[in-house]
Amino acid sequence: MMHFDSLQDWLAWQESLHPLTIDLGLERVTEVFHRLNPDYHKPPTITVAGTNGKGSCIATLEAIYRAQGYRVGAYTSPHILSYNERIQVDGEPVSDELICAAFAKIEAARGNISLSYFEFGTLAALEIFTHSKVDVQLLEVGLGGRLDAVNIIDTDIAIISSIGIDHVDWLGKTREAIGWEKAGIFRTATPAVIGDTNPPSSLLQSAANKNTPAYYIGQDFSYKKQLSGWDWFSGNRSMHLPNPVLQGEHQYCNAAAVVFAVTTFAERLPVNETAIQRGLANVQLSGRFQLIDGEIPVLLDVGHNPEAVKTLVDYLTTSFPEKRIHAIFSMMKDKDIASVLEIMNPVVYDWFFAPLANPRVATETMMQSIFSQISVANVSFGFTDFSEAYQAAKNQSQPGDLLLVFGSFLLVSDCLINLKQSELTT
C-alpha cells in the first residue's frame, strides 16, 4: 500500500498508476466507493453535465447557495493553477492535508482495484464533502455523463448546460450520440434541467425512457435581457435579476437553467430571491472570458471546441469591435483544431503558437500543418515556451489592441502564472 506525505507526490503516483488517462466505466470506482462508505448518507446533490458551461453553472449554484447561508461542496475539473481548486468547501479550495488524508483512505480501501487519476479525485471529493458535513454537494461531470465517475452518485437534480461536439473518441461524433452519453446522469422521477436552446432528440428520448421529468429553456423557463439586468420567467413566476458577472450571451442560458434548478429544488433546499440576486452578482470563475486590464488588455478563455469558440467570436465582435486581436494559442491534439481555427481566424489579426509541456498538447509540427491546410497566414512559431510567445505577441501590439490567450486550460494556467511572476519582478 502506497503512502505519500505531499499532494504532488500522490498526484504524480496516480498519473502513473493506471494505464489509461481516461478509463470510462463505473464498476471499479463503485466498488471502492462502497468499501469507503458502507452506510453513505448522501447530502442533497446537483450534478452538472454539458460540453460547455458546466463550470459556470457550478460556480453560479455555489454562489447562490452560499448567499443563502448553506455550506457548499463543489467538485470541478480540470484545475487552472492548483489541484485543490477541484475540491472546494464554502468557496475555498481545500487543504493539501485534507486531500492527502482522503487519498490515503482510498488507497487503503481499493486493494488491488485499479483507479484512474480522475477516479481518485472524485472519491476524494465525496469523502471530503462527507467529512465536512456540507449542506449541498455540486458535482461536475468530467467527461460525458453515463460512465463518468461522478455518476456513481444518484443526483437529486440534473443540469445539462449545452451539447456540442467534443471528445469524439469517447462520446461519439454527433450531437445525438453525445446527448445520449450526457443523459446518463438522468434518474427516474428526478428533475433534469436542460439549458441547451436546441437539445438533441436523444436527450428527450432518454428522459422519456427513464421517466425523468425534463425541463427545457424556451419552453419551461426563459429569460429576457433588459436595459439594466434581465428577467427570468417560469410559468406565472418571474424575477428581475442582475446581469451575470460572467461575460457572454451564453451565460444568460446557464444562469436561467441554474435559477430554474434552484427554484425547483427549493422544497428540499429553500432559497429566497435575495440569495439568487446576491449569488448572481458574486460568481467567480477564472479563465472564462477573464479580462485583465492594462495598456494592452489580456483576455483569457479556456474555450477549446467549435461551440465554445463561436461564443468567443460573438463576445469579441460585440465587446471589442475594431480592436486588433493578437492570439496566443495552443490546444490538445485530440481536439477539432482545424474547425476552431476556421471559426476564429476572421477576427484574429495574427497568431502566436505557444508550446506547452504536456504530451497531450498538439506539437508545433502538427500545428504548422493544420494552419497551412486551412490557409491561415500570419502565424509565428519557434518559441520555446508560453512566455516567449506571449512576449512576441506583446511586442507586436499597440495601445488599443487586445491580447487573446485561448485554447486550453493549460495555456490559461501558464498565462496566469506568467502574469503573476511578471508582477512580482516589476
Burial of 424 from C-beta contacts in 10 A (0-12 / 13-18 / 19+): exposed
Instruction: Name the DSSP class of 77.
Output: -
Q: Is 256:221 a contact under the CB 8 Å cutoff? A: yes
The set of long-range contacts for 31-40, using a CB threshold of 8 Å and a minimum separation of 24, is 31/113, 32/106, 32/109, 32/110, 32/113, 32/115, 32/119, 32/123, 33/123, 33/126, 33/152, 35/109, 35/110, 35/111, 36/105, 36/106, 36/109, 36/123, 36/127, 37/126, 37/130, 40/130
- What pLDDT sits at residue 303? 85
Task: Give the containing element (helix H, strand E) for 250.
Answer: helix 250-264
Q: Is 75:122 a contact under the CB 8 Å cutoff? A: yes
For the domain covering 290-425, report its CATH number.
Answer: 3.90.190.20
For residue 67, the number of C-alpha atoms closer than 13 Å in the C-beta half-sphere is 20
Q: Among 326, 346, 329, 330, which Cα is nearest to 394's?
A: 326
- Per-residue 3-state assignment (H helix, E strand, C coil) for 361-407: ECCHHHHHHHHHHCCCCCEECCCCCHHHHHHHHHHCCCCCCEEEEEC
Q: Is 237:263 a contact under the CB 8 Å cutoff? A: yes
Q: Among 376, 385, 322, which Cα is nearest to 351's?
A: 376
Task: Give CA–CA dist 104/101, Å, rounded.
Answer: 5
Q: Is 120:4 a contact under the CB 8 Å cutoff? A: no
Q: What predicted TM-score, i.e. pTM, was given to this entire model?
A: 0.89
Q: How many residues does the chain have?
A: 426
- What pLDDT sits at residue 423? 63
- What pLDDT sits at residue 235? 94
Domain 7-281, second-level architecture: 3-Layer(aba) Sandwich (3.40)
- What pLDDT sits at residue 304? 80
Q: Is 32:26 a contact under the CB 8 Å cutoff? A: no
Instruction: Name the DSSP class of 217.
Output: B
Q: In the chain, where are the structural domains located?
A: 7-281, 290-425
The alpha-carbon radius of gyration of the chain (Å, integer) is: 21
Low-confidence ranges of the chain (pLDDT < 50): 167-168, 170, 426
Paired residues of 119 in beta bridges: none
Q: What is the pLDDT of residues 35-71, one digit of tens each?
A: 999 999 999 999 999 988 899 999 999 999 999 999 9
